[in-house]
Amino acid sequence: MARTHPAWTGEAQSSRSLHWMLLKRLAGLSILVCTLTAVGFFYAERARFAATLRDAVSYGAARFERLAVQELNAPNLGDHAHLQRILDDFQIFSQPLHLGVSARLTLMDAQGRVVVESRNRDFPGSEIDPWLAANRFAPTVREDASRHELVFIGTRPFLHMLIPLRDSASRVVAYAESLFAVREAVIRDATRRMWLTQAMAVGLILVTSGLLYPIMLGMLRRMHATSVLLLEANLDTLDALGRASAKRDSDVDAHSHRVTLYAVRLGEAMNLPPGDMRALIKGAFLHDVGKIGVPDAILRKPGRLTPDEMAQMRLHVVYGRDIVSRSTWLRDAVQVIGGHHERYDGKGYDRGLAGEDIPLTARVFAVADVFDALTSVRPYKDALSVDQALDIMRAERGTHFDPAVLDVFLSLAPRLYAACVGKGAEELEGLLREVCARHFTADARALFEVTERLRLDGGE
């Protein structure tokens, strides 16, 4: 593998997608905040409006208490006819006319029994009575507190309110239940004010987002550049380790390059998920990295290995697993490194795994590895033709190789071999560069997405 280059990680493409992601996230966030703000303003303004009406009605109730003090002090609320006259006069003259008109004013004793009632003839009982019967406040829940709610009867808004009335000794002796019809002009004003406030808040949020966008984009681009450098450094590590292991073996870089290309094409044909593809590439390139720990006398011995030497040679799987398992970025290569000499029938090494207990990436790689070994020249053998190699591999379908993986490879092999045969290290490196750009761009993007999410969530 050559010195890494921005093309490995698709830097330009990631920058564009970063720009897009930020725009989408910021727009989404702005819409969410605007919506929440609008809803919050709506309820706050509605509560403020209801409180204004409540205060006006409460002021009227305090005046009523002063006018009716004699009857409120008397047992059973004194002369009810006198109370009725006060209530009717009050209904007509003492309401907060600039806000609306009283539609119904009911005076109840301390037990909630209706004593007298004043009706405004502009509001027909056919509409008001059924509503009041169903929604009358129960005065015994908290006798010392007034209650109010903004309600709609038909299409018209009313303030429905219950006000405790006290005698001269501040004892609650009666309740006034008021149904106050709000003037349409008041409602229009309040609605206009509410929309104006909401529009200003939304505008403020959008302007703030617009000002923040270039700042955040600049910061994310710097993080993006750092992330790319980090990924390039990781790919350099992969490159260095792969080269180191290749130099120890009798074959040079070409085997690692070819076998990685075969494995990647096979993995793509099998639609392996992106994470598995990256693990496969790393594992394929480093599959024999453990040979660093095998003595030269064994590694480069031209003749057959003795059983003891073979046992030492097999330890390269253990060494390789140990080398990469200490690296966070290379750890996923363990599947291939640790399983590339396993066999589907369980007679491989070093753990003797069988069938689907062998990681899929290792089963894919094993097919690519054996094919390349058979079709390459070795100190102890000549290269076989593609047909000869595939015949041998077909004979081991279900014993050495996963049948499903081998079947896919059989149809790919002639084309793959033709694409790689006779190519020098430079050309193979070029092909590998394309592979890494395709698969590690996703790796870089995943890294950017995580960092971006952390930043947008305020996690940094």
Which parts of this chain interact with Fe ion (CB under 5 A)? Answer: 288
Contact between 185 and 179 under an 8 Å Cβ cutoff? The reply is no
CB of residue 290 vs Fe ion: minimum separation in angstroms? 8
CB of residue 274 vs Fe ion: minimum separation in angstroms? 25
CB of residue 226 vs Fe ion: minimum separation in angstroms? 36
Using the minimum distance from each CB to Fe ion, give the nearer residue, 54 or 343: 343
CB of residue 432 vs Fe ion: minimum separation in angstroms? 19
Whole-number Å distance between alpha carbons of 390 and 371 = 8
425 alpha-carbon distance from chain centroid:
43
Using the minimum distance from each CB to Fe ion, give the nearer residue, 351 or 438: 351
| SS3 state at 401 | strand
Using the minimum distance from each CB to Fe ion, give the nearer residue, 372 or 452: 372
CB of residue 288 vs Fe ion: minimum separation in angstroms? 5
Using the minimum distance from each CB to Fe ion, give the nearer residue, 248 or 433: 248
| SS3 state at 398 | coil
Using the minimum distance from each CB to Fe ion, give the nearer residue, 177 or 372: 372
C-alpha distances in angstroms, 436 versus 2, 251, 276, 320, 363?
Answer: 12, 23, 13, 22, 21
CB of residue 269 vs Fe ion: minimum separation in angstroms? 23
Please give the residue whose beta carbon sits closest to Fe ion in the complex: 288
Using the minimum distance from each CB to Fe ion, give the nearer residue, 221 or 341: 341
Q: What is the 3-state secondary structure (H, E, C) of 232-298?
A: HHHHHHHHHHHHHHHHHCCCCHHHHHHHHHHHHHHHHHCCCCHHHHHHHHHHHHCCCHHHHHCCHHH
Contact between 142 and 132 under an 8 Å Cβ cutoff? The reply is no
Using the minimum distance from each CB to Fe ion, give the nearer residue, 107 or 370: 370
> Which pair of tokens denotes residue 102?
């009283």
Write out the H or E segment, with its range, that includes residue 175. Answer: strand 172-182
Whole-number Å distance between alpha carbons of 441 and 10 = 5
CB of residue 402 vs Fe ion: minimum separation in angstroms? 18
Using the minimum distance from each CB to Fe ion, give the nearer residue, 74 or 373: 373
CB of residue 375 vs Fe ion: minimum separation in angstroms? 17
Using the minimum distance from each CB to Fe ion, give the nearer residue, 60 or 338: 338
CB of residue 358 vs Fe ion: minimum separation in angstroms? 14
Work out the angle between the directed axes of helices 274-285 and 425-456 (0-180°, nearest 10). Answer: 140
CB of residue 369 vs Fe ion: minimum separation in angstroms? 7
Whole-number Å distance between alpha carbons of 18 and 449 = 8
Rg (CA), the chain: 42
CB of residue 309 vs Fe ion: minimum separation in angstroms? 15
Helical H runs in 151-252? 184-248
Would the CA dihedral through 89, 90, 96, 99 be positive or negative?
A: negative
**Peptide bond preceding 109: is omega within 30 degrees of 0, i.e. cis?**
no
Whole-number Å distance between alpha carbons of 144 and 35 = 38
Using the minimum distance from each CB to Fe ion, give the nearer residue, 288 or 372: 288
CB burial readout 152-164, b (16+ within 10 A) else e: ebeeebbbbbbbb
Using the minimum distance from each CB to Fe ion, give the nearer residue, 253 or 288: 288
Contact between 361 and 276 under an 8 Å Cβ cutoff? The reply is yes
